[in-house]
Structure 1
Amino acid sequence: MSLLLENINKIVTLTPEEEQLILTQVEVKYYKAKSMLLKAEEVSRNTYFVQRGVVRSFTINDQIIEHVLHFACEGWWIGDMYSYIAEKPGNLFIEVLEDAEIVCVSKETHQLLYQKIPKLERFFRILAENSLVAHQERLIDNLSLTAEERFEKFCSKYPTLIQRVPQKQIASFIGVTPEFFSKMKAKLLKKIIS
């Protein structure tokens, strides 16, 4: 669980006692690929920190089309924050794409840790702020960039995910159909080769 502690210590400095308290309060679970951490219409009881593996969150529209919202690999957090905070059924599915080791943090654990280690409120506030900035940037990109530009940005921003995530899910993340994505990639490869 050193990755979790490293992640927190990048923003706030924990004492050895605080680190030990965190480790005794969070739950580590192991999941096989294709496992579901959360389904739409369920109330999210946890936020998740990926120690190992890849996870994605997505929604499914009325036409049964998946829309990928997030990917998370080692050192990243993921969750259905609406459901988690509001304690209401959410709209997201969270699926494990590779065998994974996941740290699960319940709302009760969050509250307890905030009381015992107040600087964790600062840590999670900064995480929330960074997430808000990333969501805003992605929304603007989806409105103003071409599909090719969105894909190029995805490749430069998340180079480790290119080989680990199915292409149809990358297509969904950048907002195109798998068919368009294949044609776009072939066109980009031609451009690179020539």
Structure 2
Amino acid sequence: MEDQAAESPYDLILKNVARFIDLNDEEKKLYISLLKKGSAKRKEFVMQPGEITKYEYFVTKGCLKVYSLDRNGVEHVSMFAIEDFWTGDMASFIGQQPSTYFIKALEDSEFLMINKENFERLFKEIPKFERFYRNLYQRSLVSYIKRANQGISLTAEERYEIFLSKYPHIANRITQKDLAAYLGITPEFLSMIRSKMSKS
């Protein structure tokens, strides 16, 4: 298998797209021409609340954290996006309304971006991309609903185990504090869970 690290950012995104739609060489060239490269240093913000989301992001290197703050200033992490993950604020991007989310780099990160104008142009010139993004957004919605249901029906320990089984490649790249904010518990409680699991 080809080492993913040796791939160009465009190879990575084209493989991602190919999971849902087939592109010919001309369509690939057009798609790549509509993308822009971006980067963020560790702890740098890619987006903050109040801003209208200008881009959809595809991570080619590093790790981004998407989160919000409640009225008490408590952090709630929505997702972690590493290589081969899409992220952003879909509602803000589509509706061009101010976002309520932060996107922050947890590592030095690189990504490919598509803006709203090129997003709309993509649908006109390569209509099959509507199917690609429909699949992308449907999967995102299903994941959100599953996670919401797990928050109601499962214990913190069960949610932690699911995270480890689903995202083992992310768990060792984030802090205990960030993982706790994703699970909706305190870092201290997560430490207790880890200690309990290590003894069982």
Q: TM-score range by the shorter chain?
A: over 0.9
Deviation (angstroms), 1:51: 0.8
Deviation (angstroms), 1:21: 0.8
Matched, 1:139 2:153: no
Name structure 1 gaps, 5 residues minimum.
Answer: none
- 1:99 matched residue in structure 2: 108
Distance in 2 separating the partners of 1:103 and 1:163: 24
Q: When the two structures are superposed, what TM-score results if normalisation uses the length of structure 1?
A: 0.96
Number of residue equivalences: 191
Percent identity reads 38
Deviation (angstroms), 1:100: 1.1
Distance in 2 separating the partners of 1:40 and 1:6: 32
Deviation (angstroms), 1:179: 1.1
Q: When the two structures are superposed, what TM-score results if normalisation uses the length of structure 2?
A: 0.93
Q: Tell me which stretches of 4 or more aligned residues in structure 1 moved more than 6 Å.
A: none
- 1:169 matched residue in structure 2: 178
- Structure 2 counterpart of 1:141, which letter? Q
Distance in 2 separating the partners of 1:30 and 1:79: 14
- 1:53 matched residue in structure 2: 62
Name structure 2 gaps, 5 residues minimum.
Answer: 1-9
Matched, 1:22 2:31: yes
Q: What SS does the aligned partner of 2:162 have?
A: helix
Question: RMSD value over aligned CA atoms?
Answer: 0.8
